[in-house]
Amino acid sequence: MGPETDVETALVRAVGAFIRAMPAQELPAALRRLQGFRPQTLLKHRSEVLAALEDEDLRAKIVDWLDEVKPSLPKGELKVLRIAAVRDEGWAEALASRSPPSEPRAKVDPVARLTAELEREKTKVKRAREDLKRAKDATSKEIVSGAKQIADLKRQLEASKAENETAMEAATAARGAAEAARADADRSVRKAARALEKAEADALKARSELKELRRELTAVTKDRDRLEGRVGTLETRLERVKKVPGTTETPTSRGKRRVPLPVPKGRLPSDPQTLDEWLSAPDVRLLIDGYNVTMAKGGFGDLRLETQRERLITEIASLAAMKGVPTTVVFDGKDVGRHPARKKKGHVNVHYSKGEIADDHLVGLVQRSPEKPVVVVTSDRELTERVEEHGANVANSPQLLSLLR
């Protein structure tokens, strides 16, 4: 970095490289929305970037990134980023020494800021000492008061001894009353026992009725599973009927080729906000490579496959409802039982590939879709190339997971 380069600009560029390299969920909220900005666009938000460096956890992540990844940035940018992140003694002067001497700094002098913070801490210590002195004075008063109370209690104890003799006589009389009360209590216990026996009989009857209801529910569940199996079989036959033997013609091959949606100005294709704007386009349809999303970094890979599917379907249903986007999630059929637990939820259709892998099923959906915008979510490179050949836009799995957070 030559003397003509502004240190603040170099620092913003270096932090921008760090932001673009990190998963969105590991960034502070203030920086997450800046992740997809290009370097020149990011310079317009330099105040937000520099303010975020006051976060000690963020600085620790930057130091780890510099040590472990060793990013290929200009030496000058690496140097100012490490100084600002580590903040050894004299770091502010070190940064200032790298600034052009002829250009005045508009930022607040870090030394002056630290001095002001030190003065505030001194004031806090002074106030704490004053509070401690007041507490000690109050404690002394409480000790004197406590001694007086002890003397009073001793006098009261002497008086209570005389009262105890009277109380003994009263206790004898109370004993007789207690015997009578015990007899009343015995009668109450017997009455409660009879009530308990009746409650147990009622509970036994309720358990019998519940058992019968469970048998009926089991029968209904079996009927439902049988019907779902028939529906699945009919759907498979319908798919086979749709495929005309001896021809490879598809709806997209007969008409005008689908044109992908443009990338929003000032953003990268991999920016979560790019996916958000694509889903706001008219007539757009969303296709999702199910397991590719659940098993991506930041997904649900630590859960059972069935739980992964249910979790993704539930969260996608909320997003699809909010955006009003018809959505299809595809899972490999070999990973589910004979009768999948769910076929549709709200705006979301759920497909389980049968006799083919999920990739081929997704490509088939893109080919058979009307000539309207289609967004496919996957991080699989081969699948990406295949659907892009048919004019589909592709967003990676972390982009979708960022929108679901």
- Whether 230 maps to a domain, the answer reads no
Mean pLDDT lowest among 104-113, 163-172, 316-325? 104-113
Give the chain's mean pLDDT. 81
- Mark 66-78 as b/e (b = at least 16 C-beta within 10 Å): beeeeeebeebbb
Confidence of residue 120 (pLDDT cuts 50, 70, 90): confident
Domain that holds residue 256: 251-404
**Do the beta carbons of residue 372 and residue 285 sit within 8 Å?**
yes
Kindly report the number of other CB atoms within 10 A of residue 279's CB atom: 23
Q: How far is CA 387 from the centre of its chain?
A: 30
Query: Per-residue pLDDT tens for 351-404?
Result: 998 888 999 999 999 998 778 899 999 999 999 999 999 999 999 999 999 998
Domain membership of residue 302 (yes or no) is yes
Residue that finishes a domain, picked among 107, 142, 177: 107
* CATH code (residue 256): 3.40.50
Q: Is residue 134 part of a domain?
A: no
* Choice between 340 and 56, residue whose per-residue pLDDT is larger: 56
Cα–Cα distance measured from residue 288 to residue 396, given in angstroms and rounded to the nearest whole number: 10
pLDDT digits 0-9 by tens, 245-258: 443 444 444 456 78
Which of 72, 107, 142 finishes a domain?
107
Asked if the structure places residue 382 within a domain, the reply is yes
**What's the confidence (pLDDT) of residue 24?**
86
Specify the amino acid at residue 375.
Answer: V
pLDDT-based confidence at 340, cuts 50/70/90?
low
Within a domain: residue 57? Answer: yes
Is the pLDDT confidence value at 324 over 90? yes
Taking residue 205's Cβ as centre, other Cβ atoms within 10 Å add up to 10
Q: Name the least confident of 135-139, 217-221, 388-392.
A: 217-221
Share of the chain above pLDDT 90, in %: 34
Domain total of the chain:
2
The answer to the question of residue 139 being in a domain is no
Which whole number is the average pLDDT over 51-73? 90
Among 79, 107, 135, give the residue marking a domain's end: 107
Q: Is the pLDDT of residue 231 over 50?
A: no
Look at 1-10, 129-138, 250-259, 372-381 and tell me which has the smallest mean pLDDT.
250-259
| pLDDT of residue 116 exceeding 80 | no
Residues 281-297 pLDDT 10s:
999 999 999 999 999 99
pLDDT over 70 for what percent of the chain?
Answer: 78
For 24: left if phi > 0, alpha if psi spans -120 to 50, otherwise beta; the answer is alpha
The secondary structure of 148-177 as a DSSP string is HHHHHHHHHHHHHHHHHHHHHHHHHHHHHH
> What does the pLDDT read at residue 360?
93
Q: How far apart are CA 42 and CA 1, in angstroms?
A: 19
128 versus 331: the higher-pLDDT residue is 331
For residue 230, what pLDDT band results from cuts at 50, 70 and 90?
very low
> Which residues partner with 353 through β-bridges?
332
Q: What is the DSSP letter of 326?
A: -
**pLDDT of 232 strictly over 50:** no
Cα atoms in the 13 Å half-sphere on the side-chain side of 53: 22
Q: What's the pLDDT at 96?
A: 84
Task: Report phi then psi at 257, rounded to 5.
Answer: -65, 140
Query: From residue 7, how far is each of 42, 215, 351, 359 by CA, in Å?
Result: 15, 75, 54, 48
- CB count within 10 Å of CB 321 equals 14
Three-state DSSP class for 188?
Answer: helix
Asked, for residue 46, whether it belongs to a domain, the answer is yes
Query: 7, 80 in Cβ contact below 8 A?
Result: yes
In a domain, 127, yes or no: no
